[in-house]
Structure 1
Amino acid sequence: MTDMRRWIWLGVALLVAVLLYSLHNILTPFLVGILLAYLADPLVDRLERLGLSRTWGVVVVFGLFTLVLLALLLVLIPMLAKQLVRLYELAPQMLDWLEHVALPWVQSRLGLADGFWKFDKIKAAISTHMGQTTDIVGVLLSHATASGLALMAWLANMVLIPVVGFYLLRDWDLMMGKLRNLLPRQREAQVLGLAGECHEVLGAFVRGQLLVMVALGIIYSAGLMLVGLELGLLIGMLAGLAAIVPYMGFIIGIGAALVAGLFQFGGDLYPMLAIVAVFMVGQALEGMVLTPLLVGDRIGLHPVAVIFAILAGGELFGFTGVLLALPVAAVIMVLLRHVHDLYKESDLYAGDIDPEL
């Protein structure tokens, strides 16, 4: 009977996996809605403890989220768009600088042969492509017109996300209670313990790390803009996004900022030192303030596990897989730790020990 139950549970798991894979193209708004509900549930719980009803707490949280989103749309996104346009305009000059200054310097230091880089062909191909796409708005509109159905599906998903998130957040505690009541009574404590550990990891990495990413993006962007770097906001935001993997944001950000600084400031030493100082301060704040305050000493995921999970999720399920990657990796890590503990306690690990030895 026990074997039969195991086969039934295995069949159910396989069926769920097949359904997820078959429906992954339409799962994005629901997964984002679940993520929003999970992240916002502690805030709604606090509002409930202050005397608000669950529904009004959700309304307040969604109102705050809408205000933040509007602020991004009205302030941050236009600034980023200007910097993207500026990067587009500077690309030919950056290619010239790379061809006539940076690559010859590397070539002379490494003793490479003349014409080693074959940069003329690369530059010609890039320049030809850029010459055909001078009207950025026109290109975007042509792509949108050519794929109208895809655009409509994307807009529908954007509309569905807040709707799904609102209803899930309103009924979150109720759904969690019903799921708990469905647990086998004899396994309830064990399952709740595993769920608590998964929540600990998810809280540390999804909720805490996202806040660290936002804080680092603000620190890097503000510092680089104060230094006077033209692409400071763009590079700072990219460095903050890359901070989902520890030290990745620092490496990508300081590398891109130094290249942009070399191009903009030439050989001026002080702006370059200021760029390095910005990232050193950001890294120090992350290690001494942000991570202890926002993430704490809870168990996180290894950076290699994060990279593999994101790449594997994107390869298997596209954008939906990227959304699922970190939560699934966190749950798998918790389960593997318990499997490791069971293995250490099993006869397979200990073996038959001869008492005479």
Structure 2
Amino acid sequence: MELSRGKSILLTATLFIVGSYFLILSLIKAQGFLAPLVMAIVLALLMIPLAKKIEKTKINRAFASLICTFILFLISLGIFAVLSFQVKNFVDDWEEIKEQMQPKIEQAEEYIYEHTNLSKEDFEEYKEQNNLSTLASSGSSGERAFSFMKKVVDFISNYLLTFIYIFFLINYRNRFKNFFLRLVSKEQQQNARKIIHRTATIVQQYLVGKAFLIVFLSVLYSVGLGFSGVDNFILISFIAAFLSLIPFIGNIIGFMLALVFGFLTTGETTVLIGIIITFTLVQFIESYILEPYVVGDKVNLHPFLVILAIIAGNMIWGVMGMILAIPVLGILNVILRHVKPLKPFGYLLSTDKQNDKD
């Protein structure tokens, strides 16, 4: 009997591992199709309350859906415009920045030579083997141009497809909702309605809270980094605030960007102190004031599982996967917590402390 039970557990574990492997592989292969669709679903859930308000003014659903989609499109264009303007300023100043950074890089190299077993010859050999300019020049100019154009076309296609998906998802939301309700028995439809409503609510609360948080953080970072004397502080502040969409990791990346483009380009100790003070104060305000009141515990996810989801999202879909990891995991958590056989998995994902005793 024990042997039979052991075989059953082993078989279940093997099937789970193999199934997970092929699921992840499929998600990676289907990124071009699934990533814009999942992003569209998340954004469509965000815009449903606005669509309902517009429809109450006697505007038909199709036009209301078009208005909501256009609003999202304008917001995305605004974000791209701000980033493009700031990146252009950064590119224009790149030669000057490079000259200012060169002494710091040379000092860092000398420090490495003095305090490690690495020699200058080893470092030069490594730079030759990993020369980005050499890699960029490999292949014909036609191949490079074709590759670049292909990436641009793919990006624009996915970008526009996302908004097309959003329009149809908002416009035909009742049909999709009824489809899911018809998948379950009449006895379970009430629970299914609760899952659908709770899923939409969690995504809306989380994204709206994050949007306000990004605005607040952009202002706070801009004030602190501006007074600290950091060049291109608006761009760095916006990127650092936007990276807060990626919990834990985003704040670290933002701080490193500020150090690289702030302290290393000037070399002034006052700038370094200003960057450290700015990020310390803003992180304190975000963690203990803004985050609890603006965002709160909307998705009810365990921090450890959040980190795993972010890492997995990066491995599967890159930056987009990291951004989508939290709302998707929050949706999954709602489903698991409301389906009786899957409730143990919902308990594992959530921050519930019930029955946590040894």
Which residue is equivalent to 2:344?
340
Q: Which position in structure 1 is the counterpart of 2:225?
A: 224
1:213–1:243 CA contact under 8 A, matched in 2: yes
Aligned-partner SS, 2:245: coil
Distance 2:315 2:332 in 1: 18
Give yes or no for contact 1:31–1:323 (8 Å, CA) kept in 2.
no
Aligned equivalents of 2:83, 2:175: Cα separation in 1: 37
- Say whether the 8 Å CA contact 1:204–1:296 is kept in structure 2: no
Counterpart residue identity of residue 35, structure 2: T
Q: Give the distance between the partners of 2:55 and 2:158, measured in 1 at CA.
A: 30
What aligned pairs does 1:300-315 form with structure 2 within 5 A after superposition? 300-315=300-315
- Measured in 2, the distance between the counterparts of 1:312 and 1:134 equals 29
Match in the other structure for 2:286: 286
Change (3 A) 1:27 1:335: closer
Q: CA RMSD in A?
A: 4.3
In structure 2, the gaps of 5 or more residues are 1-18, 348-354
Match of 2:274, as an amino acid? Answer: A
Could you give the per-residue CA deviations for residues 262-321 of structure 1, whole angstroms, max 9, x where no partner exists?
Answer: 33443443x334323432442244235532443234343334323321332343466775
Distance 1:228 1:157, change over 3 A: same
Partner of 2:245: 244
Query: 1:71-150, aligned counterparts within 5 Å?
Result: 71-84=78-91, 86-87=93-94, 90-91=97-98, 93-100=100-107, 102=108, 113=114, 116-118=117-119, 121-122=122-123, 129=131, 143-146=144-147, 148-149=149-150
What's the CA shift for 1:19?
7.6
Conserved 8 A contact 2:101-2:266: no
Please name the residue that 1:30 is paired with: 37
Q: Secondary structure at the match of 1:27?
A: helix
| Separation of aligned partners in 1, 2:83 and 2:64 | 27
CA distance in 2, matches of 1:141, 1:71: 33
Q: Secondary structure at the residue paired with 1:189?
A: helix
Q: Are 1:54 and 2:61 counterparts?
A: yes
2:236 equivalent in structure 1: 235
Give the fraction of aligned pairs with identical amino acids, expressed as a percent. 23
Q: How far, CA to CA, are the matches of 1:318 and 1:263 in structure 2?
A: 28
Unaligned runs of 5+ in 1: 1-13, 344-349, 351-357
Alignment check: 8 A CA contact 1:37 1:172 kept: no
Counterpart of 2:203?
Answer: 202
Aligned to 1:183: 184
Give the number of equivalent residue pairs: 322
Could you tell me which residue of structure 1 aligns to residue 46 of structure 2?
Answer: 39
**Alpha carbons of structure 1 residues 303 and 245: separation in structure 2 relative to 1, 3 Å:** farther
Judge conservation of contact 1:210–1:244 (CA < 8 Å) in 2: no
What residue in structure 2 maps to residue 295 of structure 1? 295
Q: Which amino acid aligns with 2:169?
A: L
1:130-154 per-position Cα deviation (integer Å, ceiling 9, x unaligned): 666999xxx9996342465554444
Alignment CA distance shift 1:305-1:144 (3 Å) = farther
Q: What corresponds to 1:171 in structure 2?
A: 172
Relative to 1, partners in 2 of residues 1:194 and 1:130: Cα closer, same or farther, differing over 3 Å?
closer
For residues 32 and 187 of structure 1, do their structure 2 counterparts lie closer, same or farther at Cα, with a shift above 3 Å needed?
same
- 8 Å contact from structure 1 (residues 209, 295) kept in 2: yes
